[in-house]
Amino acid sequence: MMNQYETVFIVTPVLSDDQVKETVKKFKKILTDGGAKILVEEDWGLRKLAYPIKHKTTGFYNLIEFDAEGALIEKLETEFRRDEKIIRFLTFKMDKYAVQYSDKKKKLKKENSN
């Protein structure tokens, strides 16, 4: 059964823009190869961390919202742990209220862009 998930991950700030894009592309490919459908992708850019992580005070934040089977999440998170470019990540299953909020947010963004 497909569920809707959201993952936010922080890429180390020592990389170039191209390297960050390649890293994001890698994780999108893991999702799509696993049968996931990517719904939303947001690049939040370089941001200050709330506290230092691995002696870093900033990081490139990225969000991906997707539909996928539950088994794919374990594979995705294993890849996050293995990749030394990722300094933090969080993936969660969206409940019906989070899905409604996300849909409302997408609708507003679409209306504002027109």
pLDDT digits (tens, 9 = 90+) for 8-24: 999 999 999 999 999 99
- How confident is the model over 64-84, as pLDDT tens digits? 999 999 899 999 999 999 999
Residue type, 73: I
Element (H, E) at 59: strand 56-68
Fold of 3-113: Alpha-Beta Plaits (3.30.70)
| CA pair distance 89, 34, nearest whole angstrom | 19
Where are the domains positioned within the chain? 3-113
Per-residue pLDDT band at 99 (split at 50, 70, 90) = confident
**What is the mean predicted confidence (pLDDT) over 26-50?**
94
Residues 6+ apart with CB under 8 A from 85: 11, 12, 15, 19, 23
Distance of CA 79 to the CA centre of its chain: 13
Pairing of strands 37-53, 3-11: unpaired
**What is the mean predicted confidence (pLDDT) over 109-114?**
78
- The pLDDT mean for the chain works out to 92
